[in-house]
Structure 1
Amino acid sequence: MFSKSNLLATLVGTIVMFFLGYLIWGIATADFFEEHSTINVMKEVPDLGLIALANLIAVFALSTLYGKWARGHHSLGQGFQFGAWIGVFVGIGMGLLNYATTEFMDLNGYMAEAVLDIIFYGILGAVIAFMYQKTAAKE
């Protein structure tokens, strides 16, 4: 669990998750989601320290799961596939559950979020796989 591969994948993945998330949701799609949100629940100034900590914990969990899922065979494609399945779970599964139980966004917002989650977590999975591949023990 605390292998060199897992820890380096966690470190690099956390950095990617933090900045890519900001680029996607903080800049590129902010106006879109503002239009599709039914209520504004965003803080005026987000707590970047807590966001970084949350990213670290999330990526550590993803990296640990990936390490068990991959069983020693690491590739960008396999990592993207792993991450995309996480994106399906988060974006479609949890998104539809949230749509059914809350009034945070309209359905178009949740469907756009699902597509973004699949791509976002796919990229994150590929980064994790890349780090595992580069730090794997040479045979």
Structure 2
Amino acid sequence: MNTKSFLVAGLVGGIVDWLLGWLLYGIIFINMFPQPNEDSNAIIYITCGCIAFGFFISYIFNKWAQISTFTDGLTAGAIIGLFMGLITNFFRLYEQASVNYEMFFTDSGISIVLAAVVGAFVGLINGKIK
């Protein structure tokens, strides 16, 4: 595994995840998803989660899949996002008293888009850094 590619692609993937998540959850779909209190540490946890996701995708692409193109990263990221979105939202349905299918499908779709774009950037960077 190329350590430099893993680190750079993971960090960039995390930043892309944070920015796109802010756009989707914080602006476009702000009324659908609960927003954290401004006085909480939520932004720190969200940032750490985004960076961890970037490194997760980067590790998979570098160590196991050898993905090094934008298109392959986009495709693999979308598949990872599909399963992560379904897993997360099925557990969310279990935890909630009432079922909200609109939120289920919207969040699953957002997960696919987020992971696809992060995967595309990680794949692109992997191809540039060899």
Name whichever of 50-59 and 20-29 sits farther off: 50-59
User: Partner residue of 2:17?
Assistant: 17
Unaligned runs of 5+ in 1: 35-39
- Going from structure 1 to structure 2, the CA distance change for 1:66 and 1:110 (only over 3 Å counts) comes to same
| 1:51 paired to 2:58 | no
What secondary structure sits across from 2:36 in the alignment? coil
TM-score, with normalisation over the residues of structure 1?
Answer: 0.80
What amino acid maps onto 1:26 in structure 2? G
CA RMSD of aligned residues (A): 2.1
- Report the equivalent of 1:62: 57
In 2, Cα distance between equivalents of 1:97 and 1:126: 27
Give the ranges of 4+ consecutive aligned residues of structure 1 lying more than 4 Å apart after TM superposition. Answer: none
Output the amino acid matched with 1:76.
F
1:120 to 114, 120, 127: 114
Alignment CA distance shift 1:65-1:99 (3 Å):
same
CA shift, 1:53, in A, is 1.8
Aligned to 2:128: 134
Count of matched residue pairs = 128
TM-score, normalised to structure 2's length?
A: 0.85
Identity %: 25
Contact 2:2 2:62 in 1 (8 A): no
In terms of Rg, which structure is larger?
1
